[in-house]
Amino acid sequence: MRRVRTGIYGLDELIQGGFPQGRSILVSGTCGSGKTTFGIQYLYMGAEVYGEPGIYVTLDERPNLIREDCLNFGWDLRKLEAQNMLQIIDGTVARLGFPTEEEFTLPSTALDVDKLLLEILAAIKRFGAKRIVIDSLAALGLSLRSEDEIRKAMLKISYLLGKAGITSVLISEISEEKKYSKYGIEEFLVDGVIILHYLGVGGSATRALQILKMRGTKHSEYLHPMEITDKGIVVKKVEETEI
């Protein structure tokens, strides 16, 4: 099985070298747990270090704010966009119906999974993307549908992306009711699940990363301490303790 280097410092060695190629990985966590940073780092490092073009579909946060925030990590997204190594698809307008200056947007009618997929598949063809991030599934408006329809939409997304040979990071969010994802079914339909934990303890906050599943991979089962530094996300090893 071929592996896709994640670009998240310390993660690859916990999952036998990287994500299984062509598969979809769910990255889920509470608000502020680092999901967007994880997604962008995967694409930035993919393009800059591993020479793989990527697509970022944003449904929650406006592209310009993301570009601005990423400069704090030293990630110049505009440069990658100019080199055709990164494409940001703005889906926020489709959700809000506002005008945009973005080059790549979704039609500003109601957000539709099929239209989104068509736009994504066209983008993959256009510049040979190998990586994609959808931020987030929770924002796809699937909540208006039945569980069966959500399941079908999810399967369609991961099937078509897999068929295009692209390795995808699908972002979801953990709420009080659902343990691992927005709808409580995403985790069953993907090939891998990574949970980002963000716990406030006393006066300080602690971040941790957990690999819940990674099909075809012998992965760490520990809860790994994680930090968001000025270089991006760094995952730490857990010291093995003798029992």
Q: Rule CB under 6 A: which residues touch ligand ATP?
A: 29, 31-37, 60, 72-73, 228, 230
Which two structure tokens, joined as six digits, stand for 73? 């990590």
Nearer to ligand ATP, 113 or 133 (CB): 133
How far apart, in Å, do the first and last CA atoms of the chain sit? 33
Strands (E), the chain: 3-4, 19-20, 24-29, 54-58, 86-90, 131-135, 167-173, 192-201, 204-214, 223-229, 232-235
Could you write out the DSSP letters of every residue in 189-230?
Answer: HSSEEEEEEEEEETTEEEEEEEEEEETT-----SEEEEEEET
Q: How far apart are CA 61 and CA 36, in angstroms?
A: 9
Residue ranges that bind Mg ion, judged by CB under 5 A: 35-36
Q: How far apart are CA 51 and CA 177, in angstroms?
A: 40
Nearer to ligand ATP, 162 or 184 (CB): 184
The DSSP secondary-structure symbol of 183 reads S
Nearer to ligand ATP, 35 or 197 (CB): 35
CB of 91 to ligand ATP, least distance (A): 14
User: Binding partner of residue 29 among Mg ion, ligand ATP, none, CB under 5 to 8 Å per kind?
Assistant: ligand ATP
CB of 233 to Mg ion, least distance (A): 13
CB of 9 to ligand ATP, least distance (A): 13
Nearer to Mg ion, 40 or 193 (CB): 40
CB of 94 to Mg ion, least distance (A): 17
User: Binding partner of residue 34 among Mg ion, ligand ATP, none, CB under 5 to 8 Å per kind?
Assistant: ligand ATP
Tell the residue number behind the tokens 């119906």, with chain if given.
97
CB of 131 to Mg ion, least distance (A): 17
Q: How far apart are CA 120 and CA 136, in angstroms?
A: 14
User: Binding partner of residue 181 among Mg ion, ligand ATP, none, CB under 5 to 8 Å per kind?
Assistant: none
User: Binding partner of residue 124 among Mg ion, ligand ATP, none, CB under 5 to 8 Å per kind?
Assistant: none
Containing 75, the helix (H) or strand (E) segment is none
Nearer to Mg ion, 31 or 243 (CB): 31
